[in-house]
Structure 1
Amino acid sequence: MQNSVQLRTVSFILGSIFLSSCSSNYQLVKSNRAEYAVTKDVAADSSIIRTYQPYKLKLDSQMNEVLGYSENELTKKIVGGESSLGNFFSDAALFEARKTDPQIDFTMPSTNGGLRNDLPLGAITLSNVFELMPFENELIVFEIKGIEVESLLNYIARTGGQPVSGLTMKIIAGKPADVMISGQSFDRTKNYHVLTSDYIAGGGDGISSFKDPISSKVLGLKIRDALIKYIKESKEKGKKISSKLDGRMTNDKS
């Protein structure tokens, strides 16, 4: 026992000496700075290209996968408070989320600023969806009071319309009017289950309607994955994506 303690003590001392010998007291006394312009005139480094080329080819093959097809171009252009891209985006998110939570009343999964790229007419690739939704935002269902829903409606009206599904409304003089949620008139005294993103729920774009929810449920579903599933399922059913303006949001200023 005593020998074992002695051995451990010697090992500790030797280790301490080794570590102290590895340390240095070097200090920076001078540094030089230079700028190297990276322009089209800089010759490509073939060794670097050879290093990343196999990974690029693999990534390109994945990103070029055709998920489905669209009957029309889906654009961010807002007409009367809605856009064809916003309608598709919201419908797809709500459809996929309701598979997990059928109680969802309506959704605002993104603001107009979160829709980053149009979707083309014809083939829709995985790359197209990543360009539309490059973020890792999660879908969350919140049960909130009618007064909080009213604040969200006021935000939508004040900003001239936002991507929604399960909700229709008119914007008159910058205020919400004739609001229908899941086919029923909006009732300020009721609680509603609202699907949105973790970005919006966290106060993104100045939205505060989800700060004090009655309950919340993380679905474990990213918005981008919901879009991918929706497009793929449409293709498997032999259907093309067809999202048009349908009057779910009208604005008297348009």
Structure 2
Amino acid sequence: MSALHFSVKRTYPLLLILCVFLLAGCATDHNGGSKQMKVLDFTVLHTNDNHGKFWRNKKGELGMAARKTLVDRIRREVEAKGGRVLLLSAGDINTGVPESDIQEAKPDFIGMNMIGYDAMTLGNHEFDNPLPVLLKQEKWANFPFVAANIYYEDSKKLVFRPWLEKDLKGVKVGILGLTTEDTETIAAKDNIKNLDFLNAVDTAKAWVPVLKEDDNIDIVIALTHMGHYPNARHGDNAPGDVTLAKDVDGIDIIVGGHSQDKLQRADVKNSTYIFQAKDWGKFVGRADFKYYYLDDYDGKGKRKGVLKLINYRLLPINLKKPILVNGKEKWVTIEAAIPEDKAVLKALKPYQDKAGKLLQKPAGELDKILSGARSLVRGGPAALGNLIARAQMAKAKADLAIINGGGIRADLPAGTLTEKDVLTVQPFGNMLCYVELTGRQLRNYIEDVADIRGISGGLAHFANVKLTMEGDKLTRLLIGGKPVKKDKKYRLAINEYSASGGNNWPDLSENPTFVNTGYTDAVVLKEYIKKHSPLKAASYVPVKGDIVRK
């Protein structure tokens, strides 16, 4: 990266333009003649954390058919003016909508192919499926998967291509893929057992000079699934995009995902523009750039260039808001409605219809909604967590149950519940397991997991447990209302993901008493709902004082 790039990129536009003209005026070729300043106009479009949302929702929001219409409009607009467009996905295509999950996200990749994505990096939820499924998805895609920090453990070879080059009217753009190393702790153990996820920041430090110096890449885009943590305060998470920008020189643009932030303006760190577009295809991010450059300015085949962000917006995909019309609530789009592309609708409708028939079977009744809001189930005891834990305890004939808040992905709505409702709450296909522990072992285990706090996927929900944590010490533990006896055996129900050390919980899977029941969590919840229907939401509201963290 040239010194000029770093000195002017964050200055006022007038100073930027002045520097550009000075650069143009000073430039000479090898024979002493002047060189002409060139300008590339290009636009980066991006999405992240799609999580199976290939079809519009009940309000008519989202969906790949409308996204296709919007992207095509922008391409025509930009290309008519001589510019170029890149369309990028920052990962997590998988997991979240039963219609997609039961079809291994095939409709999502069909939609992405039709929209015309240029590249995608791997999100942690791509590893919710066994590796053969992910490699099959790679074959379905008409665009490359990029990830420079995922290796086969045995051969030390990259699983996916690390980066790709795109030629934009003679300007070389390198797109480097990076996936959070937290995948090693938040993905199912069996799905990643032969994979290594290297430190993403260190990986970028190694690769960016290769792209810039060896391959003469003019503009480096890091396509990441690492999370945007303001001021690099990533807490218990692996470092994210802000750390990447601060610690690695030479990255011009970061297109990110994972934390599902709605960045309505670029976050600029170390002269790097950082973008993220919320989740679920709610928005398409649009970043319009100008790149001012001279060919072979240093006489060594390397360009000196200035990158300038001209405009950035998050474009909503038919998102709606309620208004009152004659005293009645009506939902209207917050911006002009985007029509759905007919070809995409025709291609995806068979997948939507097929799944819909399978998923509309009734599962039971619930009198009031049980919220699965992320901040609620990852922040403290919640009624839905209580319900799921009770269901698993009953199925395993256990003395207690523990589940992780990150495994709860949606509300359980009021009224007639369908199989789709249950699968939307628990989409991962986690197996129910149990293990026999002595009171002493159980106390140590619960002390470890109950100490996880904050808005974390590792926050524990319990059934048949009362406890008090004072700092990192467990000072009270009751099972079934009785103090735990250190030598007594207790059966703990737990899902396979958590039992295998997910979210950095202690690994129980090697315990000789460990049993995988073969039942998935969603099936267990569905059976419990049917047996106890109609459910009363009030019966699952956490009792104040049962779980205390001081």
Q: TM-score normalized by structure 2?
A: 0.35
User: 1: distance between equivalents of 2:523 and 2:378?
Assistant: 27
2:391 equivalent to 1:84: no
Q: Please list, as runs of the form range in 1=range in 2, the aligned pairs for 1:205-244 lying within 5 A after superposition.
A: 205-208=503-506, 210=508, 212-235=510-533, 239-242=534-537, 243-244=540-541
Q: Distance in 2 between matches of 1:45 and 1:78?
A: 39
* CA offsets 1:121-162 (integer angstroms, 9 cap, x no match): 223222221121111111111112333312222123312462
* Aligned ranges 1:84-233 → 2 under 5 Å: 84-98=383-397, 104-108=398-402, 110-160=403-453, 162-208=460-506, 210=508, 212-233=510-531
Give 1 or 2: higher strand fraction.
2
Whether the 8 Å contact between 1:82 and 1:249 is mirrored in structure 2 is no
Find the counterpart in structure 1 of residue 361 from structure 2: 65
After superposition, the C-alpha distances for 1:40-78 in whole angstroms (9 at most, x for unaligned) are: 3347353x6445534422311332333222222212426
- One-letter amino acid of the counterpart of residue 358, structure 2: Q
Aligned match of 2:311:
none
Q: Is the 8 A contact 1:80 1:249 kept in 2?
A: no
Deviation of 1:227 (Å): 0.5
Number of equivalences? 209
1:40 to 2:335 alignment: no
Return the offset for 1:119: 1.4
| C-alpha displacement of 1:248 | 6.7
> Structure 1: which amino acid aligns with 2:411?
D
Considering only CA atoms, is the larger Rg found in Structure 1 or Structure 2? 1
**Cα distance in 2 between the residues matched to 1:245 and 1:180:** 15
The amino acid that maps onto 2:541 is: K
TM-score, normalised relative to structure 1:
0.70
Kindly indicate whether the alpha-carbon contact (under 8 Å) linking 1:171 and 1:251 is maintained by their aligned counterparts in 2. yes
Counterpart-to-counterpart distance in 1, 2:342 and 2:367: 43
The amino acid of 1:164's aligned partner reads: F
- 1:251 paired to 2:280: no
The amino acid that maps onto 1:157 is A
Contact residue 434 and residue 492 of structure 2 kept, 8 A = yes
Cα deviation digits, residues 139-192 of structure 1 (max 9, x gap)? 111112333312222123312462111222123334323311133211223332
Shift in Å, 1:36? 11
> Counterparts of 1:248 and 1:83 in 2: how far apart (Å)?
13
Cα distance change, pair 51–39 in 1 and its aligned pair in 2 (3 A):
closer
Amino acid in structure 1 at the alignment position of 2:341: A
Give the structure 2 partner of residue 56 of structure 1.
352
Overall identity of the aligned pairs, in %: 21
Amino acid at match of 1:131: T
> Which 5+ residue runs of structure 2 have no aligned equivalent?
1-42, 46-66, 73-339, 454-458
Shift in CA distance, 136/40, structure 1 to aligned 2, threshold 3 Å: same
Query: 1:95 Cα deviation (Å)?
Result: 1.7
Q: Report the CA distance between 1:117 and its aligned residue.
A: 1.3
What SS does the aligned partner of 1:164 have? strand
* Change over 3 Å in CA distance of 1:71–1:55 after alignment to 2: same
AA of the residue aligned to 1:154: E
Query: Which position in structure 2 is the counterpart of 1:3?
Result: none
- Report SS of the residue matched to 2:494: strand
What's the CA shift string for 1:57-111, capped at 9, x where partnerless? 231133233322222221242699411111011011112222xxxxx22111x21
Query: Highest relative contact order (Cα 8 Å, sep 6+), 1 or 2?
Result: 1
Supply the distance in 1 between the matched residues of 2:489 and 2:530 (Cα, whole angstroms).
Answer: 34
Partners in 1 of 2:433 and 2:474 — Cα distance? 24
Give the RMSD, CA atoms, in angstroms. Answer: 2.9
Q: Give the Cα–Cα distance (whole angstroms) in 1 for the partners of residues 530 and 549 of structure 2.
A: 37
CA distance in 2, matches of 1:155, 1:125: 36
Distance change >3 Å, CA 250–CA 215, structure 1 → 2: closer
8 Å contact kept, 1:145–1:213 = no
* Aligned counterparts of 2:460 and 2:415: Cα–Cα separation in 1: 25
Letter of the aligned partner of 1:195 in structure 2? Answer: A
Residue 97 of structure 1 aligns with an amino acid whose one-letter code is A
Distance 2:377 2:345 in 1: 42
Q: Which runs of 5 or more structure 1 residues have no equivalent in the other structure?
A: 1-34, 99-103
